[in-house]
Amino acid sequence: MTSAALQGRIAIVTGASAGIGEAIARDLASMGTRVVVNARRGDRLDALVASIAESGGEATAVVGDCADRAVVGAMFGAARERFGADADIVVANAGRGLAGSVCTSDDSQWEDMVRTNVLGVALLVRAASEHLVAQTPQDEPLARARDIVILGSNVGKHISPFSSMYGSTKFAVGAIAEGARRELGPRGVRVTLIAPGIVKSEFQQVAGYSPEWAQQFFTKFEPVLDPSDVSRVVAFVVSQPAHVHVNDVTLRPTRQDYP
């Protein structure tokens, strides 16, 4: 189903090989947005691009590490080469979790997590700011919508003792988002933070939570969020008229009382 607000726009979506990122790419493409998808798993991206094409959408893939400057540059280059214009929606979704607190989590994984969750987002936001501001007519900054959407987390707003090291990276992401919003908003670029609560996806397994622990958590708060619940919010945010900015969204399963 196409959307007049999204028809013809161009989006970059990182972490698109599964979960929330894949759902965002599919939803935007179904609404008429041309999509550049990024992740490390090339086979997954190829399957996603083919599936989007079969559904009548347009997509292209850039395989690689979202925290690699060359890969970030290649995403913007792919938008121009494949679709003939710069991206005007940039979704910083790539990230990974880590079970445990600063006292109990596997500290051998800290550096990789910080690189992906914080430096990867910062590099993408910096590149996006340069490309999106360059599209802004000085005399009419709100002539059309331009968006940076950053995926944070509920535990980046509320301290969680069972995932505080991961949560610290999402607190950092929140600071990046708000700082960029204050800097870029006056220049016509919207920067939005989306902070989901519990979403059932590959996240729990990759983060190192045991299947039993994760299932206990899902059962306690069921039904928990699905990636499509988050992607629907992203589509709503970027569909708003250029003068309307939904800049900070927290969404949880209705029964999730904590965190």
Query: Is the Cα dihedral 62, 126, 163, 246 positive or negative?
Result: negative
Take residue 187 and report the two structure tokens written for it: 């220049």
**How many Å apart are CA 174 and CA 156, to the nearest integer?**
7
Q: How far apart are the first and last CA of the chain?
A: 35
| Active-site pick, 76, 83, 166, 203 | 166
Instruction: Give DSSP secondary structure letters for 147-184.
Output: EEEEE--GGGTS--TTSHHHHHHHHHHHHHHHHHHHHH
Question: How would you classify residue 55: left for phi > 0, otherwise alpha for psi between -120 and 50, otherwise beta?
Answer: alpha
Between the alpha carbon of residue 85 and those of residues 70, 74, 156, the distances in Å are 19, 14, 34
**How many Å apart are CA 144 and CA 117, to the nearest integer?**
29
Angle between helices 164-184 and 120-134 (to 10 degrees): 10
**How many Å apart are CA 32 and CA 166, to the nearest integer?**
34
66 φ/ψ angles, rounded to the nearest 5 degrees: -65, -15
**How many Å apart are CA 140 and CA 170, to the nearest integer?**
34
Judge contact between 70 and 124, C-beta under 8 A.
no
- Judge whether 166 counts as a catalytic residue: yes
Q: Could you give the residue numbers annotated as active site? A: 166
